[in-house]
Amino acid sequence: MNVISMGSVSGGSIPLAFLPEGATGTVYQVLGGRGASRHLEDMGFAPTAKVLVLKSCPPGAMLVMVKESRIALGRGMAMKILVKNIEEP
């Protein structure tokens, strides 16, 4: 596995939207208002959760796997999820 080295946003993390297909990462922080961050955390995007990018179609939606669930996210929502410990297959 290759570790991706990119510029970081906060604490060595980058938005989930920037990960390529097949990459995995660990949720570091969920940004946004109270409602959006709670909604994302309820779907499984809580800190320390592992995320796998199954399909990415920039500039559109992406399909990810988190906690054994496949979830489609728009780019705006994916930008609110910061991940770190990123690995490429």
Name residue 10's amino acid: S
Return the structure tokens found at 86: 């990123």
pLDDT-derived band at 86 (thresholds 50, 70, 90) equals confident
pLDDT digits (tens, 9 = 90+) for 19-72: 999 999 999 999 988 998 899 999 999 999 999 999 998 889 999 999 999 999
pTM of the model: 0.84
The dihedral built from the CA positions of residue 21, 68, 78 and 82, taken in this order, carries a sign that is negative
List the one residue out of 80, 75, 53 whose CA is nearest residue 64. 53
pLDDT of residue 11: 67
- Taking residues 5-30, what's their average pLDDT? 83
Q: How many CB atoms lie within 10 A of CB 20?
A: 12
> Which structural domains are found in the chain, ordered by start?
2-88 (2.30.30.90)
Residue 65 CA, distance from chain mean position: 10
pLDDT at 8 over 90: no
